[in-house]
Each structure stands twice: as C-alpha cells, then as structure tokens.
Amino acid sequence: MAGTAYDGDLERRLASLREAMFQASYARNDPARQREFLERIFEGTQSQDSSFVSVVEARGPRDGVVEVAPASVPDLVAARRKRRNLVVTAAAAVVLCVVGVCYGVLRQGGGGAQEGAGQAAKLRIGLLNVVDTAPLYRALDQGYFKDEHIDIEIEKVRGGPDAIRELVQKKIDIAFTSYPGALTAQSKGVADLKILAAAYTARNSHLMLMGLGDGPLTHPSDVRGKRIAVTATGSISDIGMALALRDANVAPGSIEWVPMFMDDMLAALKRGDVDGAVMAEPYVTRAEQAGAVPVLDVTLGRRALLPLSGWFVTSGQVESQAKVLRAFQSALARGARDVQRPDVRDSVLTKYLEVDPAFVDDVRIATYPETVDPTEIQKVADLMLANGFLAAPLDVRKLVLRWPSGG
C-alpha cells in the first residue's frame, strides 16, 4: 500500500514538473516568469527532498539505457533546451515499431502509383510549413515517393480552410489542414472528406499567441479590441484561441481577426499592423529569437493530447485515385517512422522548415501518429460542438477512409 501511494505521488510530481517545464520554456524571455513557474514545483517540498526532482533527458535510448540526472532549479531551465522526456521516448519507441509494421503491410498491399510502365503519377499537395509536415519532407528528401512512382508538387497555402477549398476545386490532390478546419467544412457540407493520414498530435506550447515585449499585448487580458493575425478564420488558430481565452475568463468576441500567411506574421507584428499573432512551430521559436514573447498557449493539447492535423482527400478520390493515394500513404509512413529519431527530425527542420541549427533544440515537438484514431478526433469535434463552433453533432467515423475492394 505504501508503495502504491508513493508511485501516485511520483506521477503527480512528474506531471507537475512537465507542466512547469513547458510553461518555463515559453517564458524564457522573462526570467521573473521563468522563476515563478519553476518555483511552483518546490512549494511545500521539504528541503531534503530537493534532490528527488530529476530531469529525464530522453535524447533517444543509448545502448538501451535512458540517461537520468539530478537537476537543480537552474538546471531545469537549461535542460528544457533538450526537451525530450521519458514519455516522448517511450512513445517514439512504440511509433517506430507500429509504423514499421504498418509500412510493411502497405508495401505488400499496393504496387505503387505507376499508371504504366515506368510512368509516375503527380500529386499536388497543399500545405503550410509547420512542424506537422516533417514526415512528408523526410519522404521527399529520401526519395520514398519516387520509390512509389509519385512526383510530388507542393502548393503553399495560407491555412487549412484554404487547402480544403482548393481540394474541393481540384486545384490540389491532398490537403494538409488542422482538424477544426476540416470538421467545419464537413459539417457545413462544403466537402465530403476522408482522412488519408494523421499528421500531428499537439501538446503544450505548439501553437501560441505571440506579442512584442514592449507592445500592447503581453497578457491574455490585453486581448480585448486587439488585431490578431491568424492563418484563417474557422481554423485551429481562431478556434483554439477562443477556447484558450475562455479558459482564461476572457471574452474572445471583441477580437479583430486578420488572416495572413504565417510567414508574414512576424513582420506584421513588428510594423504594428497587428497587435498579436497566433503562430505554430517553428514560427514560435523564430519569433522568440526575434524578441517576440508568448502571451497565451493556444494549443488544444492543453486540455489533453488531442489530434491537431491530418492529410485529407475527398470521397470521390478514394474511388478514382485509390492506387496512387495508397502509395502516398506508404511513402508518408516511412517518413513518419524516420522523424521519430530526433537527429533525423532536426535535419528536416533545418533543411526544409528554415530552423536555425543553433535553436533547433528549442522547437517544441510532440507526436507524429502512425494511424488515424477516430475516437480521439471525435473529441475535437465534440469540443467544437460544445463551444458553438459546430452547429450540429458530427460523427467523425464517417471521415475514416475505407478503400474500395480491389483498390
């Protein structure tokens, strides 16, 4: 019984420690806030227990061993730059195994995308350059799509709703989008969508409301009447922001949303065209390097580790393009397996997402899932419904892709 109580206390301490580390990570430009977040952990802790707190630096198992080192409060701040923890390592190990199995099954199930002898099929992909897309860039870099006889053409879009619009208009073949944008389109009958693959499951600090340290927006309560840059309305940017503000007891109705490309947000913030901007990684880290400060964590993952984004097609494509889409799944799965390794993922971030190698360890990374879990995505739809972002219940199971027999 005593052992059970101790284990429960350990879990509570570790959970609190992880939360404080995340909080401190996006307060790095404000030492006073950093100390406030970190010292919360030690409130009520006996002095002789201080050595109990450890930081798990899970840079990946080394010869089967995970390194654990005692750390003081200052050490905790420095260790955040390495930011891998034991939970992420365990999850990565599972992903490596499962994605490898899924990849093997997919390889056996399809003969690639070639329409004729040696002929490659072209797929136009609509996306924005956030860390969610790392598996696709890894697959491109390593020639996995070429192995499947696919030529990839990337079309940059401002946000998820724009990607869905272009998908419906047949300007692109696959749309990368956050789930709120896709679920909104599905519920309004704009499109009959299918989830081709999961992209990213977010956690704390992936999506942040950013402001300037000497600007008009440095606290959530400052947001009333402000101009906030988002990739699009009806996306994770404004929906996640509204939910986070409600949690902070701030009414979101007075905000002026200003849609723009995420690439343009930092410059707009510096010019004073907007008062704040909702950014995802790696833009959050870039903005911090330029002197911007986090104001509010917008990520749905603060409520739970909720799915954030995915790759979508229309139901009609499932019939007409089954072979090439299955081949795309296969190549993407290989990329997802690869980016579970921190060194591989960091190389993708620096090469394709323009992350400064000196700051790549600061980029907040969560999970690249290898399968679509409709039960988890349903939680996003239910959350949107409960907060008025969907007019009626939406059954996410209808978006689950089922290949036609013989496809």
Six token digits for residue 143: 């020639």
182 lies in the same domain as 171: yes
Residue 405 lies in a domain: no
The domain total for the chain is: 3
The CATH number that applies at residue 104 is: 3.40.190.10
- Phi, psi dihedral angles at 85 (to 5 degrees): -120, 175
State which of 302, 322, 342 marks the end of a domain: 302
Strands (DSSP E) contained in 157-260 are 174-178, 193-201, 207-212, 227-230, 256-259
What is the Cα 205 distance to its own chain's centre?
10
Output phi, psi for 285, to 5 deg.
-65, -40
pLDDT of 112 > 80? The answer is no
For residues 101 and 196, state if they share a domain.
Answer: yes
Task: Let me know if residue 219 belongs to a domain.
Answer: yes
Residues in the chain: 407
369 in the same domain as 313: yes
Identify the domain boundary among 302, 322, 357: 302
In a domain, 121, yes or no: yes
Q: Which of 256, 280, 302 is the last residue of a domain?
A: 302
Q: Name every residue whose Cβ is closer than 8 Å to that of residue 280 and which is 6 or more positions away in sequence.
A: 130, 131, 132, 206, 207, 262
Cα–Cα distance for residue pair 287/205, rounded to 1 Å: 13
In a domain, 376, yes or no: yes
Same-domain pairing of 58 and 185: no
Residue 194 lies in a domain: yes
3 state DSSP class of 399: helix
Tens-place pLDDT, residues 289-326: 999 999 999 886 666 678 999 999 999 999 899 999 99
Tell whether 176 and 262 lie within a shared domain.
Answer: no
Tell me whether residue 89 is in a domain.
no
Residue, of 151 and 206, whose pLDDT is higher:
151
Quick one: residue 219, left, alpha or beta (phi over 0 = left, psi -120 to 50 = alpha)?
beta
Q: Is residue 389 part of a domain?
A: yes
Residues 51 and 128 in one domain: no
Domain that holds residue 270: 207-302
177 & 131 share domain: yes
Tell me: pLDDT of 109 over 60: no
- pLDDT recorded at residue 405: 67
Give 215's DSSP letter: S
| Spatial CB neighbours of 160, under 8 Å, sequence gap ≥ 6 | 175, 176, 177, 178, 180, 181, 182, 231, 232, 235, 236, 309
Query: For 177, phi and psi rounded to 5 degrees?
Result: -155, 155
- Check whether residue 381 and residue 287 sit in a common domain: no
192 shares its domain with 111: yes
Residue 292 parent element (H or E):
strand 292-297
CB 205 within 8 A of CB 299: yes
Tell me the residue type at 387.
N
Strand blocks (E) in 72-168: 121-127, 150-156
Q: Is the pLDDT of residue 51 over 80?
A: no
DSSP 3-state of 400: strand
Contact 314, 168 (CB under 8 A): yes
HEC states along 147-176?
A: HCCEEEEEEECCCHHHHHHHHHCCCCCEEE
Of 70-74, 159-163, 290-294, 331-335, which range is least confident?
70-74
- Which SS3 state, helix, strand or coil, does residue 362 take? helix
How many H-runs (helices) and E-runs (strands) does the chain carry? Answer: 15, 12
* 294 and 149 within one domain: no
pLDDT digits (tens, 9 = 90+) for 255-271: 999 999 999 999 999 99
Is position 406 within any domain?
Answer: no
| Position 361 confidence tier, pLDDT thresholds 50, 70, 90 | very high
Which of 360, 321, 325 is CA-nearest to residue 344? 360
Highest mean pLDDT among 8-17, 56-65, 92-101, 226-235: 226-235
pLDDT (average), residues 75-94 = 38
Compute CA distances 152 → 146, 186, 377, whole Å.
9, 26, 27
Element at 279 (helix H, strand E): strand 276-280
pTM for this one? 0.71
Same domain, 189 and 213: no
Which residue, 363, 364, 362, 342, is CA-closest to 92?
342
Residue 66 binned pLDDT confidence (cut-offs 50, 70, 90)? very low
**Mean pLDDT, rounded, for 84-91:** 36
Cβ contact 54:69 at 8 Å: yes
Judge residue 362's burial from the number of C-beta atoms within 10 Å of its C-beta, 0-12 exposed, 13-18 middle, 19 or more buried: buried
Does 327 lie in the same domain as 196? yes
Q: Residue 134 and residue 160: Cα distance in Å, rounded? A: 17
